Amino acid sequence: MSGNSALLDSNIIIYLSKREIPLSFLDQFDDHYISVITYMEVLGYRFRDAKEEKFIKEMLGVF
């Protein structure tokens, strides 16, 4: 990793899916990373609805 990178944890991904953090938050970083543990934690999260689940699965698909 070099430059302006972000290692996202499960809370950030969940907050993004709930719109508690705006997606524009990610614009300040050139690269985005998640750990395998974060990936598994997010997949194990209890989604409040199908829209949130779809958002998270699409987001994880980027990694």
pLDDT in tens, 10-43: 999 999 988 999 999 999 999 999 999 999 999 9
Alpha helices in 1-63 (DSSP H): 10-17, 36-43, 50-61
Tokens (6 digits) for 31: 């690269």
Please answer whether residues 31 and 6 qualify as being in contact, where contact means their C-beta atoms are separated by less than 8 angstroms: yes
pTM of the model: 0.78
> Which pLDDT does position 63 carry in this prediction?
85
Query: The dihedral of CA 53, 43, 15, 56: what is its sign?
Result: negative
Give residues with Cβ within 8 angstroms of 62, minimum separation 6: 32
